[in-house]
Chains A and B, each alone.
Chain A
């Protein structure tokens, strides 16, 4: 199962074709995803930059972490928050049963159109009264790149 969308995603508009594409971020390419977070504190505005070659339609998300107290909040490329506050990771982007059925993504309905070179911003928060000292968060943004058909 790639996405568990409640409604089918529309096909690419006339003159374009969609191509599956994933963006992956972890502590190797985004240092903030491996930084300690003090108790009840947060790391704000972590930039997740996208490519400049084609627009990206963001349709699904997986976040892998072994920190049950982690909270997350996304901001779309146009700066709009996608939640009213930080969401507990285990209630938002970390699916259950990952060891047996794999990690099922959480769908964006509708998909979010990200223009060339867009930046998605992420906040990470520690929701517990104990510090997170060994954070290794991995973020997978799933979707399609929308290419113009060359005539």
Chain B
């Protein structure tokens, strides 16, 4: 489960202290953090380096004594590219629980579109949503479902798109990759994954570079305070965005997803958008 927290525009040097309330249907265990802002015209998120923040547990118990530069807190690429900063041990929030953030923009210009991503698991009761076990006797093989969202417009949203597991085996969804590596480029593309009952795995659309990433992206990230900008180093196919716990999809079962693209601010064009669901095929032995 990913909780997306979209913060209002942060004026320079003006602190913001704000609460975020989790869903009422189940408790949530926070296991990872990430942050992002929309790409600038150069394909970087340079302004993100000026953000400092601290966040709290369920009783407004801050886990840092003062605001920490977000690049130091979350590590490389601000926890994006499917590699969030681990929160270990996990922090449990009850249903309807609240976390607080104390954030400031140390940059010179207003910061628009800051999003925090709280990644973890919902802790439901047995039967609250469908789960499937492995067969008693089975074998597995590494398997991937690459697919493409055809002709995705520069500003377009498609809801309730269907991903169907083939009938020749179950599929364990363990990781993902997404994004274009060749022209025309895409920038702001968001996914909401849902189970077959349309229950979402996030409270809002998640940017594909936060959810999954890929080996060669359009992105570059600021490092430290020296204005150095580097492409993602290390994530991608060998360290993809992990789905943990894994999602077990029996043969012929569905997964739904919403995809939205908002590239009006970039020189974009209609493009097929590739997504790769990675995991294992499970066959009854």
Knowing A76-B141, A82-B142, A84-B145 are in contact, say whether A68-B233 is a contact too (CB < 8 A): no
Q: How far is the CB of A58 from chain B (nearest CB, A)?
A: 9
Asked if A86 is at the interface of the complex by the 8 Å CB criterion, the answer is yes
CA distance A94 to B214 in the complex (A): 9
Asked if B166 is at the interface of the complex by the 8 Å CB criterion, the answer is yes
Instruction: Check if A4 sits within 8 Å of B238, measured CB to CB.
Output: yes
Interface centre among A4, A90, A108, A110, by most chain B C-beta atoms within 10 angstroms, is A90
Asked if A56 is at the interface of the complex by the 8 Å CB criterion, the answer is no
Instruction: Check if A105 sits within 8 Å of B215, measured CB to CB.
Output: no
Asked if B216 is at the interface of the complex by the 8 Å CB criterion, the answer is yes
The interface residues of chain B lying within 8 Å CB-to-CB of A104 are: 234, 238-239
Instruction: Check if A91 sits within 8 Å of B238, measured CB to CB.
Output: no
CA distance A91 to B175 in the complex (A): 11
CA distance A39 to B126 in the complex (A): 51
Asked if B181 is at the interface of the complex by the 8 Å CB criterion, the answer is yes
Instruction: Check if A96 sits within 8 Å of B146, measured CB to CB.
Output: no
CA distance A108 to B143 in the complex (A): 9
Contact among B146, B181, B233 for A83, CB-based, below 8 A: B146
Knowing A101-B233, A106-B237 are in contact, say whether A96-B216 is a contact too (CB < 8 A): yes
CA distance A96 to B230 in the complex (A): 12
Interface centre among A71, A97, A100, by most chain B C-beta atoms within 10 angstroms, is A97
Asked if A42 is at the interface of the complex by the 8 Å CB criterion, the answer is no
The interface residues of chain A lying within 8 Å CB-to-CB of B278 are: 92
Instruction: Check if A95 sits within 8 Å of B280, measured CB to CB.
Output: no
Instruction: Check if A92 sits within 8 Å of B177, measured CB to CB.
Output: yes
Interface residues on A, range: 35 or more
The interface residues of chain A lying within 8 Å CB-to-CB of B274 are: 88, 91, 127
Asked if B202 is at the interface of the complex by the 8 Å CB criterion, the answer is no
CA distance A108 to B278 in the complex (A): 11
Instruction: Check if A96 sits within 8 Å of B182, measured CB to CB.
Output: no
Interface residues on B, range: 35 or more
Binary A-proximity of B154-181 (CB < 8 A = 1, otherwise 0): 0000000000001000000010011101
The interface residues of chain A lying within 8 Å CB-to-CB of B181 are: 68-69, 88, 90-91
Knowing A69-B182, A84-B166, A90-B237 are in contact, say whether A97-B146 is a contact too (CB < 8 A): no
B236 to chain A: closest residue by CB: A96
Knowing A88-B276, A90-B181, A110-B140 are in contact, say whether A96-B237 is a contact too (CB < 8 A): yes
Instruction: Check if B145 sits within 8 Å of A83, measured CB to CB.
Output: yes
Asked if A128 is at the interface of the complex by the 8 Å CB criterion, the answer is yes
Knowing A68-B182, A91-B177, A128-B182 are in contact, say whether A86-B234 is a contact too (CB < 8 A): no
Q: How far is the CB of B12 from chain A (nearest CB, A)?
A: 33
Which residues of B253-281 have CB atoms within 8 Å of chain A's CB atoms? 274, 276, 278, 280
Contact among B146, B237, B242 for A84, CB-based, below 8 A: B146
Asked if B232 is at the interface of the complex by the 8 Å CB criterion, the answer is yes
Q: How far is the CB of B189 from chain A (nearest CB, A)?
A: 14
Q: How far is the CB of A46 from chain B (nearest CB, A)?
A: 18
CA distance A17 to B234 in the complex (A): 32
Knowing A90-B216, A128-B182 are in contact, say whether A108-B237 is a contact too (CB < 8 A): no
CA distance A48 to B146 in the complex (A): 23
Asked if B222 is at the interface of the complex by the 8 Å CB criterion, the answer is no
CA distance A69 to B238 in the complex (A): 18
**A–B complex contacts, Cβ < 8 Å, 9 sampled:** A68-B182, A71-B146, A90-B236, A91-B237, A92-B237, A96-B235, A96-B236, A97-B232, A97-B235
Which residues of A does B touch, CB under 8 Å? 4, 6, 68-69, 71, 76, 80, 82-88, 90-97, 100-101, 103-110, 112, 127-128
Q: Known pairs A87-B146, A92-B276, A109-B280; list 4 more (Cβ under 8 Å).
A: A82-B141, A84-B143, A97-B234, A100-B233
